[in-house]
Amino acid sequence: MTNDVFFRSAEDVGPKTNQLEQIKELFQKISPVRQGDIVAVKIHPGEYGNTTYIRPVLVRTVVDLVRDAGGIPFVTDTTTLYKGMKLNAAELIWAAAMNGFTQASMNAPFIVADGLLGDDAVSVDIGGSVLKDITVASAIAKADSMVVLSHAKGHPGSGFGGAIKNLGMGCLDKEGKTRVHEVGRPTIDPEKCVACGDCIDICAWDALVLEDTYARVDHELCRGELACMASCPQEAIIAPDDVDVEMQKMLGEAALGPIKCLSGRIGYINWIYDLTPGCDCFNFSAPQFAENVGITASTDPVAIDAATVDLINGKMGHHGRSIIDVWGVDPIVHLRYAEQIGCGKMEYSLLK
């Protein structure tokens, strides 16, 4: 692993160089693939209704490069805690196909890494300051090497989502995701709640209970993923103080789990296009908050995210803004915790 971050700019895309050609160049610099490897290509295929997720043709390009390098690729993602179309493997494969991710489009099978119900995982000791161990989705943990292909974008909990988010959340099973999220268990203000019931069906864990005049959260059942907050017309659902900071600590440390499972044999590509405020779990795509930047690649997940955030801030700086302004959340917290636990380095060399 080096802290070199290779960059191809969106401004260079034209008749002589398209994004596929840029990925081919970048892949050669960061490929972890050895002859005969079973190779996970980790993506997020987008929630149904989202239209700005990474494109299948970009995934196909990486899959073909893995094959050319002698690997046996499979494309993968994990089930979610929220109630969308990714709650179990059957619906996730269906949602991925609806968004264009099929064996025909990608030249590789799509495998849900944490199994039918999201409980197929391997526990890994990581020895962090907030997480001593974490559960990594089985098909990822057992692969020989991995290419993590991330759509860079905003995120309400972590400010930014890139390679570390894809590792420290996207590579975990439901139990691992719960460990990262559970600091977010909310409360409901009974003075504001009007017992409308809008939040009840949103929760995949039946953690919201409607009493006569107000709703309450059953903290035994709640996983803390906070999808309920946006459903409340009264803004009665209240997240704990500093939830973004506390969740980011867990996220940064959890990223070490898949790195340990794969003995660090991972290459990272960040696709910095369609910079939406929300992540690809949202079932819609809001207008982008910054212009397209390009594509970065590295063998260091912290360095690639630090460089990606700096490149995005470079675009936003013309307007006197930075990525912190998108949600009021500074993503530096999860990158620092990822660095402290040994995922990589914040310092990087940007090579164009």
Question: Could you tell me the smallest distance in angstroms from the CB atom of residue 266 to ligand SF4?
Answer: 41
Among the listed residues 231, 292, 313, 340, the single contact to ligand SF4 using CB under 6 A? 231
Q: How many chain residues are in contact with ligand SF4, going by CB under 6 A?
A: 14
227 binds ligand SF4 (CB under 6 A): no
d(CA 2, CA 307): 13
* Cβ neighbourhood burial of 100 (10 Å; 0-12, 13-18, 19+): middle
Task: Name the residue with tokens 């949602």.
Answer: 95
312 binds ligand SF4 (CB under 6 A): no
Q: How far is the CB of 282 from ligand SF4 (least distance, A)?
A: 19
Residue choice 63, 215, 333, 341 for contact with ligand SF4 (CB under 6 A): 215
Site membership for ligand SF4, residue 190 (CB under 6 A): no
Q: From the CB of 287, what's the least distance to ligand SF4, in Å?
A: 27
Phi first, then psi: what are they for 9, rounded to 5°? Answer: -80, 145
- Residue 347 is which amino acid? E
Q: Does the protein bind ligand SF4 through residue 149 (CB under 6 A)?
A: no
Considering the complex, what minimum distance in angstroms separates the CB of residue 245 from ligand SF4?
A: 24
Region from 108-116, 227-235, 263-271, 302-310 binding ligand SF4, contact rule CB under 6 A: 227-235
- The encoded tokens of residue 289 equal 């908050």
Residue from the set 234, 288, 322, 340 that interacts with ligand SF4 by CB under 6 A:
234
In the block, which residue shows the tokens 């400010």?
159
- What's the rounded Cα separation, in Å, for the pair 265 and 30? 10
The answer to whether 31 touches 299, Cβ cutoff 8 Å, is: no
* 8 A C-beta contact, residue 266 and residue 241: no
Phi, psi of 166 (to 5 degrees): -65, -30
Q: According to the binding rule CB under 6 A, does residue 232 interact with ligand SF4?
A: yes
Q: How far is the CB of 54 from ligand SF4 (least distance, A)?
A: 33
* Six-digit token string for 302: 């912290």
Token digits for 212?
């006569």
β-pair type (4-9, 349-351):
parallel
Please tell me whether residue 195 binds ligand SF4 under the rule CB under 6 A.
Answer: yes
Out of 54, 81, 147, 199, point to the residue binding ligand SF4 (CB under 6 A).
199
Backbone φ and ψ for 237, nearest 5 degrees, come out as -90, 120
- Beta bridge mates, 294: 9, 272
Structure-block tokens of residue 30: 């960061």
Q: Does 123 bind ligand SF4 (CB under 6 A)?
A: no
Q: Which is nearer to ligand SF4, 56 or 184 (CB)?
A: 184
If you search the block for the tokens 């892949």, which residue do you land on?
A: 27
> Which residues in the 13-52 window bind ligand SF4 by CB under 6 A?
none
Among residues 11 and 235, whose Cβ is nearest to ligand SF4? 235
Provide CB contacts within 8 A for 48, sequence distance 6+: 84, 85, 95, 98, 99, 283
> Using CB under 6 A, which of 85, 89, 188, 247 touches ligand SF4?
188
Using CB under 6 A, which of 97, 117, 196, 346 touches ligand SF4? Answer: 196
Candidate list 57, 116, 194, 230; residue touching ligand SF4; CB under 6 A: 194
In the complex, the residues that contact ligand SF4 under the rule CB under 6 A are 188, 193-199, 215, 231-232, 234, 236-237
